[in-house]
Amino acid sequence: MSEPELPVLPSVAGRVVHVVGARPNFIKAAPVLAAIDALGIPQRLVHTGQHYDVRMSDVFFSDLALPAPDVSLGVGSGSHAAQTAVLLARLEPVLAPADPAERPALVIVYGDVNSTLAAALVCAKERVPFAHVEAGLRSFDDSMPEELNRRLVDQVADLCFLTSPEARDHLVREGIDPARCHFVGNPMIDTLLAHRARFDPAPLRARYGLGGEYAVATLHRPANVDTPDAAARLVGALRTLAARLPVLLPLHPRGRAMLTAAGLDTIPGIEIVEPLGYIDFLSLVSGARVVVTDSGGIQEETTILGIPCLTLRPNTERPITISHGTNRLATPEGLAPLLDAALRGELARPGDGPPLWDGHAGERIAAIVRDVLAARAAR
C-alpha cells in the first residue's frame, strides 16, 4: 500500500466527526450530515479512501451532494490486516490528537467495513466518545469479515443507532446496556426517499439497449467470489438468470478475475459494466424485473422499491427485508424456482414496510446527538 504524505489536519476540537470509507458509508452518512448541519452543530468529514476511485467514491459525493471531505487519508486497498493497520495509524492523529482539548466531541461511524472498525478501535483506546450507525445487525456467520467488525464495534460504542427493531435484542444478549441503544430507522432509506424522484430507468435502458424486461445482478462477497469453486457456482447461477432475462451486471473490482476465469464472460445475455453511481444504479434497479445480489444495502433498497430481490447467501443480517420486503435467500443451485416465483409475481411485500424506514432517521440521529452533547456540556 502506498504511503502518501498526510495533509495538514484541520482542527476537530469540539466537533462531530464522521468517518466514511466505502460507498455504503456515503449513502448512510449523507442524511445524518445534513440533519446535524441543520441543527448548527459543527462537524468534520473524514474519508479514509477505502473505496478511492471515481466509480466507487467520487461519484457518490457528487450524486448525494455530500460536502468535500475535510480529511482524505488515501488508504486504498489491501488485505484485512494490512488495510486495518494503515487505517489505525492514519486515523489516530485525526480522532485522538495529543492535546485533549483538540479532540472531537463525538465520532460517528457507519456500517461494518474496515474503516468503521479502525475508527472504533482508535476511539475506544483513546477514550473518544463514538456512535455506531447501523448497530446490532447480525448474520450470526462469523466467517464474514463484516460480522466480526459489527460485533467488535458495538461492544465499545457509546451510542448504538439501530436501523431495525431486532437489533436491540441482539445487543442486549451480547451484554450491551439498553440505555446505549436508540432505534432511529434507516438513514440509507432516507437517502433513497430523498432522491427517488431522480430515478429514471429510461436513459439506462437506452444506454444498454434494453428494450424489454431485464434483471440486475451485483455480486462481490468473499464467500461468493474468492475461490474457484464458489465462483463456478456463482457463474452457474448467472447462467440460470440469463436464460430467462437479459442481465446487467455492474461488476465490483473484487472477484472480477476469479469470475472471468470461471466463464462469466462466456454467458450469452449478460452485459458486464463498470460500477455505477448512486442515481444511475438505483435508476437501473427501479426498472428491473428482478435483482440477484449478495449486497446488504441492495436488500434494503429493493424492499422500499418493491423489486423482487434474490440474495445469494445462506444468511442475512437484514432479516427485516424478508419479513417486510421482497427479499429471499437463495443458493446458486436453488435459484431457478425462486426466480420463476419472482417472475410470476409471487414475492409479495407486506403493505406496512419496515418500521421507521420513513425518511427521518437522520433527523432522529441528529436530535440524539444534540441532546447528548448538551447533557455533557451541562455537567
The order of strands in the sheet holding 247-250 is 270-273, 247-250, 215-218, 290-293, 309-311, 327-329
Q: What is the 3-state secondary structure (H, E, C) of 21-56?
A: CCHHHHHHHHHHHHHHHHCCCCEEEEECCCCCCHHH
Say how many residues make up the chain. Answer: 379
Cα(373)–Cα(377) distance, integer angstroms: 6
Number of helices (H) and strands (E), helices first, in the chain? 16, 13
Contact between residue 46 and residue 19 where contact means Cβ atoms under 8 Å apart: yes
Cα(11)–Cα(319) distance, integer angstroms: 41
Q: Could you give the residue numbers annotated as active site?
A: 220
- Phi/psi of residue 82, each to 5°? -65, -45
Residue 193: name the closest of 354, 323, 304 by CA.
304
Contact between residue 338 and residue 310 where contact means Cβ atoms under 8 Å apart: yes
How far from 91 is each of 18, 20, 66, 290, CA to CA, in Å? 12, 11, 21, 40
Helix (H) or strand (E) holding 292: strand 290-293
Contact between residue 123 and residue 87 where contact means Cβ atoms under 8 Å apart: no
Cα(329)–Cα(232) distance, integer angstroms: 19
Contact between residue 242 and residue 266 where contact means Cβ atoms under 8 Å apart: no
Cα(312)–Cα(334) distance, integer angstroms: 9
CA-based Rg of the chain, rounded to a whole angstrom?
21
